[in-house]
Amino acid sequence: MPFDRLEQDIKMMKEAGINCVRIAESTWSTVEPQDNVFDFKHIDRVLDAMYKANIKVIIGTPTYAVPTWLVKKHPSVLATTANGQYQYGARQKMDITNEHFRLHAERVIRKIMEHVKDHPAIIGYQVDNETKHYDTAGDNVQKAFVASMKEKFTLDSLNSAFGLDYWSNRINNWDDFPSTVGSINASLNAEFSKFQRKLVTDFLAWQTAIIKEYAKPNQFVTHNFDLDWRGFSYGIQTDVNHFDAAKALDIAGVDIYHPTQDHLTGIEISFAGDLARSMKGGKNYFVIETEAQGFPQWVPYPGQLRLQAFSHLASGANMVAYWHWHSIHNSAETYWKGLLSHDFEPNPTYNEAKTIGKDFQRLSSKLINLKKKNDVALLFSNEAQTAFNNFEMVFKTKYNDVLRPYYDALFKMNVGVDFIDPSVTDFSGYKLIVVPVLYAAPDELLERLNAFVAKGGHIVYSFQSGSSNENVKVRSSIQPGIINKACGITYSQFTVPENVSLKDDPFNVGAENKIHTFMELIKPSTAKVLAYYDHPVWKDYAAITENIYGKGLATYVGAMTSEKLLEAVMKDVVKKAGLWDVKQNLAFPIITKDGINSEGKTIRYIMNYSDKSVEMKYPFSKGTELLTNQKISKDEQLTLAPWNVKIIEIEGK
Amino acid sequence: MPFDRLEQDIKMMKEAGINCVRIAESTWSTVEPQDNVFDFKHIDRVLDAMYKANIKVIIGTPTYAVPTWLVKKHPSVLATTANGQYQYGARQKMDITNEHFRLHAERVIRKIMEHVKDHPAIIGYQVDNETKHYDTAGDNVQKAFVASMKEKFTLDSLNSAFGLDYWSNRINNWDDFPSTVGSINASLNAEFSKFQRKLVTDFLAWQTAIIKEYAKPNQFVTHNFDLDWRGFSYGIQTDVNHFDAAKALDIAGVDIYHPTQDHLTGIEISFAGDLARSMKGGKNYFVIETEAQGFPQWVPYPGQLRLQAFSHLASGANMVAYWHWHSIHNSAETYWKGLLSHDFEPNPTYNEAKTIGKDFQRLSSKLINLKKKNDVALLFSNEAQTAFNNFEMVFKTKYNDVLRPYYDALFKMNVGVDFIDPSVTDFSGYKLIVVPVLYAAPDELLERLNAFVAKGGHIVYSFQSGSSNENVKVRSSIQPGIINKACGITYSQFTVPENVSLKDDPFNVGAENKIHTFMELIKPSTAKVLAYYDHPVWKDYAAITENIYGKGLATYVGAMTSEKLLEAVMKDVVKKAGLWDVKQNLAFPIITKDGINSEGKTIRYIMNYSDKSVEMKYPFSKGTELLTNQKISKDEQLTLAPWNVKIIEIEGK
Amino acid sequence: MPFDRLEQDIKMMKEAGINCVRIAESTWSTVEPQDNVFDFKHIDRVLDAMYKANIKVIIGTPTYAVPTWLVKKHPSVLATTANGQYQYGARQKMDITNEHFRLHAERVIRKIMEHVKDHPAIIGYQVDNETKHYDTAGDNVQKAFVASMKEKFTLDSLNSAFGLDYWSNRINNWDDFPSTVGSINASLNAEFSKFQRKLVTDFLAWQTAIIKEYAKPNQFVTHNFDLDWRGFSYGIQTDVNHFDAAKALDIAGVDIYHPTQDHLTGIEISFAGDLARSMKGGKNYFVIETEAQGFPQWVPYPGQLRLQAFSHLASGANMVAYWHWHSIHNSAETYWKGLLSHDFEPNPTYNEAKTIGKDFQRLSSKLINLKKKNDVALLFSNEAQTAFNNFEMVFKTKYNDVLRPYYDALFKMNVGVDFIDPSVTDFSGYKLIVVPVLYAAPDELLERLNAFVAKGGHIVYSFQSGSSNENVKVRSSIQPGIINKACGITYSQFTVPENVSLKDDPFNVGAENKIHTFMELIKPSTAKVLAYYDHPVWKDYAAITENIYGKGLATYVGAMTSEKLLEAVMKDVVKKAGLWDVKQNLAFPIITKDGINSEGKTIRYIMNYSDKSVEMKYPFSKGTELLTNQKISKDEQLTLAPWNVKIIEIEGK
């Protein structure tokens, strides 16, 4: 901060309706300027000022960026990866398993907790920040990995399970175990990735346990998980097992960054929100970070900041927090701009935030704690992701590039989705499970999925589901492995489509009738073929099939399709699953989401993700639009201004 | 292998007519699970089973992938390159000169040989696998290189030959010799590359000598050479001197991988086959590896696997072997799919292989040992290749990108080609020698080429032939160096063409009349100009010339042309060399190849590399189509189905 | 040199009118073949021969390429950068601060100077060659950097100025100072870059001081500075502070390489020439290296070598020297072709050089020592450049990509330009100052620029001028920082334009009315808006403004525009600054430059940078065309052949 303006900042925060801030994160070098020398004056000052202003505080542990003195004293705290050891400078470059890092991290956390634990401004704690394993793979990590292997495998079972005979990689003595860094064995790579994800789970659980020793019963512990990054929050995070890591926490938190301006679709907000909500089994979550101005290309159009804020609530968020309050004047995130620009003056984005703050203050009792009951689940798997991505050279695509179009199709037709992962054993709440590229999975999971169909469930698989087992050994049984029973198909070959479409355009998508990247040459056994390939040679193979299995239906999509084509396929699936409803008659850019609030009322959001004004007949039960406090009845004409939102409290239960 | 099915595998092999397998390759960690502990049970079991089934076995030495224990014990076996030392994991990462590697490799080879040498199933041995030098350039290699330099040069002759004064690189004391790793001197780089190629020659000769101590007189030693890799077998291999390395072997072997589906042309099969046949002076060779299903994009269309198999025979192969029998279930080559998919079930590719096996069994006595007599040779040079590629920044293209279009043009007009390299001293068997980009060559070679023309030979040079000497010193004489005598031209400048074509489209190729990448500004002395450049400034310079020199004709192509343009130029060359024949009236996609079999009969292949049925008048002498056993007479109408082949045994001698 | 031909070379040089050569550069390994063993015979021989031929000699110190023995003895002479230590081979890989390098460099310089200092052929010396810091950043450099920081900052002022609290980078003890190599702090990176530039200044001053101990009063010391390299001399050099480094020298030198053929525009010659002339406050400079044939794509069209040579003189050069005389036959610059090709024969380029030599001999007394008085200055800043480029991920462009279009626009409308940098304190000679992207600047500089306007000056700023201070701390005042006073505007947000143009095409550029890459959302306070953005959302923000401030006018361009649009804006600026003249009615490809020669005469160049003949009415005062010795009067019809030049000595003073 170039000069002191705490009082002015708090005044402007209050004007914007901000009622909670997060502090202390990443301030290790300020809090502990030298080894075992502590200085809490900055924390104290802010805590007191916030308390006085009735702004709640979340204390973040400062451990995700290490101070200069620690690196000077213990250079090994910087992680060693396949590309060598990190240099000091950026955050998140430490080895989270390093003993010196752990000792010093524990001490600074305890010192902070001892100091702040009784402060009345604090409502909760955040452990670390967007923790991942940072590819740590040095000798100590390798040693721990081998120890974990010894617990799971004998040498014989290891060599056999991972096929290590190949290229003479066989390990005949545990002491011969080479570093995984040069490995070309996908099974070993996947196992090491799983081990690295467990390091993250363990690290967060360890920090949480320390915090819990000091925290009051009414204070929560959270963490801000982040997603696979493609310049924005894109998909499933490879480096963290979110469901596992979230177990230690009281409340799941998530950081959501997404395109805006002409590219704002609401998909990332919905995707990350559904994921965060699913981490703790449907519990409401915090959006701990999202953009205010963000990157230059993200400066929101008028109305977008509001639409975004309400979109988070519509997905079940109980907090929307911006990274960050004001733009900072030096270093890496200088142009990750906050609510305020560098000049600290009100600007269009801040001014719009003020309207959000006002509406939140007025309506939050109705809007928070929204509960959702979804009929549809999307099954993702870190194991499948790691394994599939290991073969990117073969499949020419990555896990999230297959998964996202399935999610996007459901989002665009207003189908509410929960995320589930292989640890979820109870499918009974769902009518339809969507399973993109479950490339690696244990028999048990696939058999459970078969049973779900047999009992009446609907399921959609993408290509390469069931291919390999939990050790990334390709199944030697008929493909698709095990699920061929429910799907009623087999294939033994697959190839790369060139100029391939679906014969006779069965889903009526015209110019969008296109296959790309990957196709399986499918033969139906009991399945009904929904689409054959249109190609001189492959024309007798099926592309998309469905199969009645027991009381249910299993659909299989054997190729990578255009987005529009997949949307048409999924529309058909949703209809056959009996889930087509009045909501589905709306469609992107009109998105509707709902839930039941604490008062037992249905709250319905209707959002316009476009720069065009949209006229529509309101198709739901009568209620009250909360932002305008106007009544609305079924079939009444409704106008949604560009980038606008309506929030209707439905009458009755 | 996920479960034992040796018996079933052999049954399916027999059904496919497979009569030879290669084993033991890359199994070091299985054969020698710990230092000096040996286990031959897998080898024994397969040898016995194959013998019982009357399937012959080639034993491969296991040395191209090192076991974990060896690396743990002697980390220096992993090669050090310009980018540091390799990590353990992938194959072919060892320093083939490392003393520990050599000691242990020798021991495991001897142990295997002692164990198997009397087994009756074995017909021969393969030393190592696709051996290259793997860029080994550590201190020990540098030391050996300097020692080899001392034998060839004095310091003065070295500094002068390589121009080391430049940028102060002069070496005034052998002890000052720096590592070549950072060298910017093309002469030094080329010399080091030559040294590295010699390491490969020496390594293969060393392994072969060990094998020969044990092998029976009727057992062969072979090796599977591979080509410059562009995602498939593309061109001349930079890292191995094939002619030199093949000397130690009894039979040359080659691995050939190529595009299929709509991209199957037969060129790579023909190119690599011609090269392998030429390695041992026209002796028949083995195709030790080629794809069955291979990469996803290579799954063959119906008919293609057959066409490919017969294409290999048509080029003179005496064996066609697939990598590999079944697809493997783990590790790097999981999706380099074999004849069988992971499910081990018959599939379209395997089923087609069965028809090949049947035809081979019936016809092999007529089809193997095909002898060829070609009038045309293509002269390649590893020295020219390394030197030219060293200046890729200048010439904006690489050696193989110049060479391949010349080969391709000949292939497409059904001109049979031998490969020759600078070690071939007798040109008397050839009427036409094609010389792409002989950038570095000793005076002696260029003078021999001049003499070949003087005596009546025809020759075609591409641009930059003759430019520099064997030490990659650009000649200070008139360019093109020495061959300007035969070519009757000079140039002193060259440039990069922008929007340049040939004046008045002298080769009638219409829209394909295009020059790109590189052009020399040629002045004829005695040459006839076949084409001038079409460009406002360069219009008075010649692009393509021919010159009568003694009794022969030398054609010079001074620029990089479009493929179609080069095909037209080469058509003209072939005609002027008096080699235009009935075969040349056919053209790609109809490819014809022939040879004389052991019975002295001419065997003629006619192949259709397209997805269209082709009607043609059979223009050759009468004979019998062997696959159908039908008579055929000259000028009879012949239909070639898509991707199909006819094999005609010509009547008479 | 493959064989001795000194006599023949000198003969051909004389024929080409060459009267000066540069020798000894980069010959350390020849001059000092072993540690402390010296051999001057090559130098002596050339000096004597040149003296005899009356060709003057510049002796270059040989220090920019180190000999093998030095690296063997002291491996630390090779610099360590963020990517590790350099390998031996290329030039310019040493640590210019290394004590061993310095000791040995000093000794070899002194030995050479002692040996040659009395030779009558020598007219001057060149210290080193295109010196830069080569990214040296090893431990010794870091230590020196920290020492320099201690002199400028206390720990508190450092942490505050650079914002090191962020991501815990705070330094609480000088001993904790980490290597800058991994830094993500733009302030620290910029400071380290400034320190590295000072290493270059110090190094050249140190060498110059040594030379001066020996040099005669009438011998000059120079250095050949080079520019930011984009495959040719593109823009401001990041790694050297040219104005600072040139202080020690007697005469500034510059190396200028540029596209030719259809891409010859004269811009690089003019740009680098204006820069070199400005280094020593308008003193004439040497073009120490420029291309003869150069890269293959640079072989000049007929006329271009002449046009280029006179272009250099037109900008104020007193020497035009080619790199190099003849093409060399080995190593890295084999195809950086000289006046002669490898064959040493006359060629079109050499032949054209002969005509230049003749004209120079005849006319040089009139053409050299041309003095210029420009009304326009372009202000560049190494500090702004480093800082702006540090945020390339944000701004999606680099400093020179913003600066060059401003220069180019002025060049194309024949406006003479001086370069100034922040060290220039006297603006009084200028009527217009052009300030592209002065991203980082101290308050004092911005206030001086405001004062310049207040006093009646005209100024043009690009976007992001004034943003941050000299420590790359973004200003927390209103943006644009400080200059908002003169510009009469503010902005608080900026974004990335998608399909944005200027409303109503105010500069009449039709299809070229385009904004790209970056745009600021500007609000005028007192400014007049020259252009609003044409975009549905941003339409109320200004893109380009001008503001009367005191007696002057400040124009602000808030976005990256198409080149044509910027040219139109600059045309407007030049007119409003009262600088539109008869020269400006000419325009690219007709370029005119002028100056006053030693006789007090105005010399005017009129150059045709195109392949079309151009007819024009000669609009200047009468005079004599010197190349043809023909009189020319005002309004006389003049024909400029393609790539041709006229040089008119104006009558009268």
Structure tokens of B396?
């904006």
Contact B132, B239 (CB under 8 A): yes
Cis peptide before A259 (omega within 30 of 0): no
Q: What integer pLDDT is reported at residue A653 of this predicted model?
A: 66
CA–CA distance, C154 with C156 (Å, rounded to integer): 5
A-B C-beta contacts closer than 8 Å: 151
**Biggest CA pair distance of chain A:** 76
Please identify among residues 424-453 of chain C the ones whose CB lies closer than 8 Å to any CB of chain B. Answer: none
- Contact call for residues C575 and C509 (beta carbons, < 8 A): no
d(CA B189, CA B168): 16
Q: Distance between CA A398 and CA B253 in Å, rounded? A: 37
- Number of A to C CB contacts under 8 A, please give it: 150
CA-wise closest residue to A90 among C471, C189, C175? C189
CA distance B381 to chain C (A): 20
Query: Do C166 and A71 make contact, defined as CB atoms within 8 angstroms?
Result: no
Contacts for C230 with CB less than 8 Å, ≥ 6 apart: none
Q: Which amino acid is at A490?
A: T
Task: State whether C87 and B492 contact (CB < 8 Å).
Answer: no
For residue C444, give every residue at least 6 positions away whose Cβ sits within 8 Å of its Cβ, in sequence order, or none. none
CA–CA separation, C254 vs C288, rounded Å?
Answer: 6
Chain C contacts of A23, Cβ < 8 Å?
none
Look up tokens 């009397």; give the residue. B118
Q: Say how far apart CA C491 and CA A294 lie, in whole Å.
A: 16
Residue matched to tokens 């998608």: C498
User: Judging by beta carbons within 10 Å of its beta carbon (0-12, 13-18, 19+), is residue B4 exposed, middle or buried?
Assistant: exposed
Distance CA A73, CA A35 (A): 9
What gap in Å lies between CA C233 and CA A379, rounded to an integer? 56
Residue position matching structure tokens 């900072």: A328
Residues of C in contact with B464 (CB under 8 A): none
CA–CA distance, B140 with B78 (Å, rounded to integer): 12
| Residue A394 contacts B, CB cutoff 8 Å | yes
Q: How many residues does chain B have?
A: 653
> So what's the pLDDT on residue A257?
98
Q: What is the mean pLDDT of residues A463-481?
A: 97
Q: What is the 3-state secondary structure (H, E, C) of A484-534?
A: HHHHCEEEEEEECCCCEEECCCCCCCHHHCCEEEEEEEEEECCCEEEEEEE
Q: What's the N-to-C CA distance of chain B in angstroms?
A: 50
To the nearest whole Å, the CA of B484 is away from the closest chain C CA by 13
User: Which is nearest to C556 in space by CA: C564, C565, C547?
Assistant: C547
Q: For residues A82 and B170, what is the distance between their CA atoms, to the nearest angstrom?
A: 37
Cβ-nearest to B172 among C29, C66, C89: C29
| Confidence bin at C653 (pLDDT 50/70/90) | low
The Cα-based distances of A282 to A256, A310, A378, C121 in angstroms read 18, 18, 14, 89
Tell me what pLDDT residue C401 has: 98
The structure tokens listed for A230 are 């493609």
**Please, is A75 exposed, middle or buried when counting C-beta atoms within 10 Å of its C-beta (0-12, 13-18, 19+)?**
exposed
Distance from C-alpha of B173 to C-alpha of C34, rounded to nearest angstrom: 8
Tell me if residue C163 falls in helix, strand or coil: coil
Residues 341-370 of B with CB under 8 A from A: 341-345, 347-349
Chain A interface mutation, best of C168, C500, C539, highest count of A Cβ atoms under 10 Å: C168
CA distance C380 to chain A (A): 22
Confirm or reject contact between B478 and chain A (CB < 8 A).
no
Q: What is the value of ipTM here, to two decimals?
A: 0.96
Pairwise CA distance, residues C338 & C334, whole Å:
10
Helix axis angle for A186-212 and A382-390, nearest 10°, is 140
Burial per residue of A522-547, b for 16 or more beta-carbon CB atoms within 10 angstroms, e otherwise? bebeebebbbbbbbebbeebbbbbbb
Q: Are strands C623-625 and B602-608 parallel, antiparallel or unpaired?
A: unpaired
CB contact under 8 A, A90 and C182: yes
Query: Within 10 Å of residue B65's Cβ, how many Cβ atoms?
Result: 21
Chain A adjacent subunits, 3+ CB pairs under 8 A: B, C
Pairing relationship of beta strands B122-126 and B220-225 according to DSSP bridges: parallel
Segment (H or E) for B243: helix B242-246
What are A94-106's pLDDT values in tens digits? Answer: 999 999 999 999 9
Q: Which residues of B touch C28 (CB under 8 A)?
A: 168
Angle at C541 between CA C538 and CA C547, to 5 degrees: 160
Amino acid at C169: N
Dist. CA C316–CA C307, nearest whole Å = 15
Rounded Cα distance between A438 and A462, Å, is 8
C98 vs A599, C93, C102, CA distance in Å? Answer: 75, 12, 6
Report the C-alpha gap between A336 and A339 in whole angstroms.
10
Catalytic residues of C: 130, 289
Q: How do residues A270-312 score in pLDDT, each as one tens digit?
A: 999 999 999 999 999 999 999 999 999 999 999 999 999 999 9
- pLDDT at A356 > cutoff 70: yes
**Strand runs labelled E in A292-426:** 317-323, 376-379, 417-420
Q: How confident is the model at residue A27 (pLDDT cuts 50, 70, 90)?
A: very high
The whole-number average pLDDT for the span A322-345 is 96
Contact present, B95 and B80 (Cβ < 8 Å): yes
Chains with 3 or more CB pairs under 8 A to chain C: A, B
In chain B, the residue whose alpha carbon lies closest to the alpha carbon of C28 is B168
Q: Which amino acids of A are annotated catalytic?
A: 130, 289
Q: Which amino acid would we find at residue C288?
A: I
Catalytic residues of B: 130, 289
Residue in A with minimal Cα distance to B304: A537
Q: Which residues of chain B are within 8 Å of residue C347 when distances are taken between CB atoms?
A: 492-493
> Does the structure show a pLDDT above 90 at C1?
no
Query: C390 and chain A: CB distance < 8 Å anywhere?
Result: no
B 613-652 residues inside an 8 A Cβ radius of C: none
Q: What angle in degrees, to the nearest 10, is found between the helix axes of B348-367 and B6-15?
A: 60
Distance, CA of B333 to CA of B326 (rounded, Å): 11
**C527 DSSP 8-state letter:** P
Residue A489 sits at φ, ψ, to 5 deg, of -140, 165
Phi, psi of C122 (to 5 degrees): -85, 125
Q: Is A50 helix (H, G, I), strand (E, B) or coil?
A: helix
**Do A150 and A95 touch, CB atoms closer than 8 A?**
no
All structural domains of chain C, each given as residue ranges with its CATH number in brackets, are 6-135+200-365 (3.20.20.80), 376-580 (3.40.50.880), 585-650 (2.60.40.1180)
- How far apart, in whole angstroms, are the C-alpha atoms of residue C324 and residue B166? 13
Question: Using CA atoms, how far apart are residues B482 and B459, in angstroms rounded to an integer?
Answer: 14
Residue C584 has pLDDT above 70, yes or no: yes
Check the annotation: does C298 bind a ligand: yes
Name which of C492, C493, C499, C523 to mutate to probe chain A: the one with the most chain A Cβ atoms within 10 A of its Cβ. C492
Is A66 in Cβ contact with C495 (below 8 Å)? no
Angle between helices A155-162 and A186-212 (to 10 degrees): 120
Question: Contact C474/A327, CB-based, under 8 Å?
Answer: yes
A23: DSSP letter: E
Residues in chain B predicted with pLDDT less than 70, given as ranges, are 653
pLDDT digits (tens, 9 = 90+) for A106-126: 999 999 999 999 999 999 999
Percent of chain A with pLDDT over 70: 100
- C471 CA: distance to closest CA in chain A (Å): 9
pLDDT at site C585: 95
Average pLDDT over residues C588-594: 98
Cβ-based neighbour number of residue A111 at 10 Å: 15
Measured in degrees and rounded to the nearest 5, phi and psi for residue B245 equal -70, -30
Mean predicted lDDT score pLDDT of chain A: 97
Residue of B74, B344, B88 whose CA lies nearest to A170: B88
Contact yes or no for A498 and B87 at CB 8 A: no
Contact across the interface for B89 and A178, Cβ inside 8 Å: yes
pLDDT tens, position by position, A413-428: 999 999 999 999 999 9
Longest CA–CA separation in chain B, Å: 76
The verdict on a CB contact (< 8 Å) between C186 and A349 is: no
**Which residues of A does the annotation place in the binding site for substrate?**
91, 129, 298
- Closest residue in chain C to residue A337, using alpha carbons only: C493
What is the average pLDDT value for chain C, to the nearest integer?
Answer: 97
Tokens standing for C424? 């220039």
Q: 3-state SS of B146-195?
A: HHHHHHHCCHHHHHHHHCCCHHHCCCCCHHHCCCHHHCCCHHHHHHHHHH
Q: What is the model's pLDDT at position A123?
A: 98
Distance from CA of A507 to the nearest CA of B (A): 26
Q: Which two tokens stand for residue C386?
A: 């480093």
Q: B474 and C330 in contact (C-beta within 8 Å)? A: yes
User: Nearest CA of chain C to the CA of A288: how many Å?
Assistant: 18
Tens of pLDDT, residue by residue over A164-191, are 999 999 999 999 999 999 999 999 999 9
pLDDT, mean of residues C257-278: 98
Beta strand A285-291 with A317-323 is parallel
